Amino acid sequence: MEIIVLPTAEDVAVRAAAIVREQLASAIAGDATASGILGLATGSSPLGLYRELAKARRSGLLDLTGAHGFALDEYVGLPAGHPQSYREVLTREVCDPLGLDPANLHVPDGSGRTLDELDAAAATYDDSIQELGGIDVQILGIGSNGHIGFNEPGSSLSSRTRVKRLSDRTRLDNARFFARPEDVPTHCVTQGLGTILEARALVLVAKGLGKAAAVAAAVEGPLSASCPASVLQWHPRAWVVVDEAAATGLRNREYYAEAAAGLDG
Ligand code: F6R
């Protein structure tokens, strides 16, 4: 795991976007038929990263023609076209600015009326990721309670895409996107931690003091279902890119800076 601490959220966006581009390029290098498969987080954390990728596209440094995108999660029960449904958010923030064909945007289906329906669609979604060859680079944010995707504390470390109940903390954190707190859905369909671990590279971004405890637990705490983001410790190619505020709880910052300097450090 590589931990990169940078002065500002803008620096985080620039560096994380560069890592995503490099990992995507190396994943498709040498295969003329591959266009890349991105795993897409929503929420506010990756917005700067997406803006940087859009800039790269305008400069000719990124071409997502033919690429596919897989969302991490979707709310259950929002009507189709709801502006806060993750399909809509990703269409706005990723498809349009980055040139990802909306037909190649895959989002878990949260429209099922029963648990059986939702679970069946979740399993199909999980399978479809592997059928297209697996995710090359998964972009992640982290919840203030340590969740990734919507794998709330207590999630199995080997879980697959499935229905989850959102914790009160997450619903409160996400209330800012809705007119009233009670409008935040109670359930979601999320890629599981086992699903996320199958991506070939993981890039987690975090900014702000509100994420400091979660980042510290994920990076320096035990590998534990109590902090789902700690599964990144188990992945062979994971980057955690955070700003100063989100790094406040890290004890080994000096070492991370030295390690990031490579053989010259
Ligand atoms: C959303 C997702 C969540 C968010 C997390 C942080 O697709 O997977 O794990 O990344 O809740 O949200 P923000 O970035 O809004 O603080």
Atom of ligand 1 nearest to the CA of 73: 7
| pTM of structure | 0.97
Active site residue 82: no
Active site residue 73: yes
Number of domains in the chain: 1
- From first to last of its 265 residues, the chain has per-residue pLDDT tens of 999 999 999 999 999 999 999 999 999 998 878 889 999 999 999 999 999 999 999 999 999 999 999 999 999 999 999 999 999 999 999 999 999 999 999 999 999 999 999 999 999 999 999 999 999 999 999 999 999 999 999 999 999 999 999 999 999 999 999 999 999 999 999 999 999 999 999 999 999 999 999 999 999 999 999 999 999 999 999 999 999 999 999 999 999 999 988 887 7
Backbone phi, then psi, for 159, in 5-degree steps?
-65, 155
Atom 1, ligand 1: which residue's CA is nearest? 42
Domain that holds residue 13: 2-264
Atom 11, ligand 1: which residue's CA is nearest? 143
Cβ atoms of 200 and 137 within 8 Å: the answer is: yes
Give the DSSP H/E element, type plus range, for residue 50.
Answer: helix 47-58
d(CA 216, CA 200): 23
Q: Find how far residue 124's CA is from the centre of its chain.
A: 20
Distance 255 CA to ligand 1 centre (A): 28
Backbone phi, then psi, for 174, in 5-degree steps?
-90, 0
d(CA 78, CA 230): 30
State the CATH number of the domain containing residue 103.
3.40.50.1360
Backbone phi, then psi, for 197, in 5-degree steps?
-65, -20
d(CA 123, CA 144): 27
CA-only gyration radius of the chain, Å: 17
With a 6 Å cutoff on the Cβ, whether 149 touches ligand 1 is: yes
With a 6 Å cutoff on the Cβ, whether 26 touches ligand 1 is: no
With a 6 Å cutoff on the Cβ, whether 73 touches ligand 1 is: yes
